[in-house]
Amino acid sequence: MKQAITFSVESHRFLGPDGQPEGDLPPLAEDKDALHALYRNMVLTRLYDERAIALQRTGQIGTFASSLGQEAIGAGVGHAMRPEDIIIPSFRENGALLFRRFRIRDLLLYWGGDERGMANPELGDDFPICVPISTHTTQAAGVAFAVKYRKQPRVVVCLLGDGGTSKGDFYEAINLAGIWHLPLVFVINNNQWAISVPRAIQTQSETLAQKAIAAGIPGLQIDGNDALAVRHYVAEAIETARNGGGPTLIEALSYRLCHHTTADDATRYRSDEELQAHWKLEPVARLKRFMIGRDMWSEAQESELIRQCKEEIEQEVRHYLDSEPPKPTSMFDSLYAELPDELRAQRQSLVGKESNND
Amino acid sequence: MTDITLVEAVNLALMREMERDPEMVVLGQDIGINGGVFRATVGLLEKFGSERVLDTPLAENMIAGAAVGMAAQGLHPVAEIQFMGFIYPTIDQMVSHASRMRNRTRGRITCPMVLRAPYGGGIHAPEHHSESTEAMFAHIPGLRVVIPSSPTRAYGLLLAAIRNPDPVVFLEPKRIYRLMKQAVEDNGEEFPLDTCFVLRPGSDITLVSWGAMLHETQQAAEQLAGEGIDAEVIDLATIKPIDMQTILESVGRTGRCVIVQEAARTCSVSAEIAARLAEEGLMSLFAPIRRVTGYDTVMPMFRLEGHYMPDTARIVQAVKQTMEFA
Ligand SMILES: Cc1ncc(C[n+]2csc(CCOP(=O)(O)OP(=O)(O)O)c2C)c(N)n1
Ligand SMILES: [Mg+2]
């Protein structure tokens, strides 16, 4: 017998749950500004998520998906990207979006039921939040093709969840990325759950990273609660792609410490013991311990950061709450480049109507 | 100027536009060296190279999704789906993304793509190769659906579809891909979208159809002319949005209307036209609107497809019944 192929999957992390280094650290570990930027984004994201949930509970936005416990993934991805790169997000990577040009007021508008949340022209080519799972993965391949076609030194980063890797879209997208050698990095937030469906019911595959191997592209696993690992390996994949090295698939292991969304009750399907066990692995405390251990952070800086973040969030919330209600006719105005004649009468019936606020 | 077939006109339009527009790419299965299973893309690979003529893996959902991504970046992708029977995996992308991208970003990101597919019955093809499900796409806000019925209109309408800043589903009636030849001037001039074409003026009755069925509809009109009935024939051409103005104006003169389609009857494009005639043109009608359509059955395999598809006799009969009513 001849072995047609054998494969292995690397798994990486720099910091253990207690914030202690495990083996050699990358230069990033010495870069105080970078660590502060990562940490700030994670704290901001956590406070934003908390505030958004409060807004939902008081009826001021609709259903909301928090990223509690997964902040290192958004932060690492967002920080690794250059402004000219393009993000194709799912709906959970709040921190990554905040690192881009999405403002909290935009995100609140979106979750507050208003298309204008994804309309800010300063978002450039970044894609809007994608709700139908994995449907954005093939689009990411198309965007990456366009970038490559125009010979631009840009990279596309597509974020999805563990549940999303079960869809045909995902396989079709990584398959194409391989064949076309696209400047595209897929980052899977493997938070162990897809609403109530645990990772074990998504696939018999031992890792999600190994799905890359069938597509002929590199796949690796990282500890998604280690911001250093996320930042380092995502940046490496992005720069590989930028230099013509093709796509990479990264599985970032994390855990969803929150309910799926504000419309979900996770106590129906998972135990408190499991949840508490994962709280010990969470990413914000991990990076903080590391920085404090190296004299790069203090409790005084911590309280100042929290104060600043809260102030920024409140300002953004105020912007959101003060935003003009959308015009009812606006549902017609961006449907086509030019409104077809047959829709004029329908639109006319809404002229002069006010937006209701429910 | 030479006489060419409808599928050659499709090819000519693709050639012409690729030459003019460096942002245009074509993608699909077997469209490169093979030139497409119907040869609609023949010669493109040789002329424009594999950077712009993209043979894809066999994954329709991905073809549509990749086209959405390309279009979001401002490219003008024209994606071919080999047969309409295999277009259904694209529906997720067309409904959830292509049709909505402009709206859900308030114009920040748009989707100037074309999804082409041959459709319809009558060529004795295998199962799943003969359906006419254009109404599915016509139901979706944000999309355009365009169906040519002759070589000249295929050329002009496809150019318009590619240049249109919004997504267009361009369905090609494959039964008439090679049925007739017409002189098509390769002048790069587009035909207007969202507009019906009056193929035959008439005063007694308005016949509305699109795609391959216009062939039978026009034959019926000729036959009826011999019997003293003067039928006006309208090619709907753009299935969505519908140019009701032209139809209403015509029915306003004739007072009678028969709609002819290959597709199944219920919730179809003919149903929409009939509803709008009832809403906006009832007072000009002398007789009930009649529809000549495929049946509400699964499209039969080819031994029965002749019974399924409307023919000239069914159209003539519907017109006579309408004329007899009033
Ligand atoms: C195609 C599709 N099916 C179902 C849903 C409903 N839904 C929303 S999120 C979700 C679970 C997604 O799990 P995963 O991909 O792991 O992402 P996570 O929510 O954990 O971030 C489901 C089933 C959807 N949005 N899209
Ligand atoms: Mg998940």
Structural domains of chain B ordered from first start: 3-183 (3.40.50.970), 197-323 (3.40.50.920)
Residues 239-298, chain B, touching A (beta carbon < 8 A): 241-245
Cβ of residue A288 lying under 6 Å from some atom of ligand 1: no
Q: Are B113 and B70 in contact (CB under 8 A)?
A: yes
Question: Are A335 and A191 found together in one domain?
Answer: no
- Whose atoms come closest to the Cα of A253: which ligand? 2
Give B2's pLDDT tier (boundaries 50, 70, 90).
confident
With a threshold of 0.95, does the pTM exceed it? yes
Residues A289 and A346 in one domain: no
Atom in ligand 1 nearest the alpha carbon of residue A167: 1
Q: Residues B154, B120: contact at Cβ < 8 Å?
A: no
Active site residue A260: yes
Q: Is A99 helix (H, G, I), strand (E, B) or coil?
A: helix
CB contacts of B110 in chain A (<8 Å) are 337
Number of CB pairs, chain A paired with chain B, less than 8 A apart: 139
Which one, of B104, B147, B143, B112, lies nearest residue B238 by Cα? B147
State the pLDDT at residue B213: 98
Q: What is the pLDDT of residue A38?
A: 98
**A246 shares a domain with A149:** yes
Residues A187 and A333 grouped into a single domain: no
Q: What is the pLDDT of residue A357?
A: 57
Q: Note down the domain range covering A101.
A: 11-326
Instruction: Give the gap in angstroms from C-alpha A233 to the nearest C-alpha of chain B.
Output: 25
Dump pLDDT digits (tens) for B185-242. Answer: 999 999 999 999 999 999 999 999 999 999 999 999 999 999 999 999 999 999 999 9
pLDDT band per the 50, 70, 90 thresholds, residue B305: very high
The residues with which A197 forms a beta bridge, in sequence order, are: A194
Kindly state whether residues A317 and A356 are assigned to the same domain.
no
Cβ–Cβ below 8 Å for B166 and A142 = no
Q: Are residues A227 and A167 in the same domain?
A: yes
B167 in contact with chain A, both atoms CB, cutoff 8 A? no
**C-alpha angle B152-B153-B154 in degrees, rounded to nearest 5:** 90
Indicate whether residue A191 lines ligand 1 (CB < 6 A).
Answer: yes
A118 and A46 in a common domain: yes
Q: How many domains does chain A have?
A: 2
* Structural tokens at position A271: 């135990």
- A325 Cβ closer than 6 Å to some ligand 1 atom: no
Write the pLDDT tens digit of every residue in A246-272: 999 999 999 999 999 999 999 999 999
A338 and A223 in a single domain? The answer is no
From CA A41, how far away is CA A243, in angstroms rounded?
27
Contacts of A275 (CB under 8 A, 6+ apart): A257, A266
Q: What are the residues of chain A with a beta carbon less than 8 Å away from any beta carbon of chain B?
A: 88, 115-116, 118-121, 123, 125, 127-128, 132, 135-147, 149-150, 168-169, 172-173, 175-176, 179, 330-331, 334-337, 340-343
- The reply to whether A6 falls in a domain is no
Q: What is the mean pLDDT of residues A267-282?
A: 98
pLDDT in tens, A101-160: 999 999 999 999 999 999 999 999 999 999 999 999 999 999 999 999 999 999 999 999
Q: How confident is the model at residue A344, as a pLDDT?
A: 95
What's the pLDDT band for B6 if we cut at 50, 70, 90? very high
Q: Identify the band that residue A354 occupies on the pLDDT scale cut at 50, 70 and 90.
A: confident
- Nearest-CA neighbor of B224 among B307, B121, B100, B318? B318
Task: Identify the closest residue of chain A to B99 by CA–CA distance.
Answer: A335
Question: Is A269 annotated in the active site?
Answer: yes
Whether A41 maps to a domain, the answer reads yes
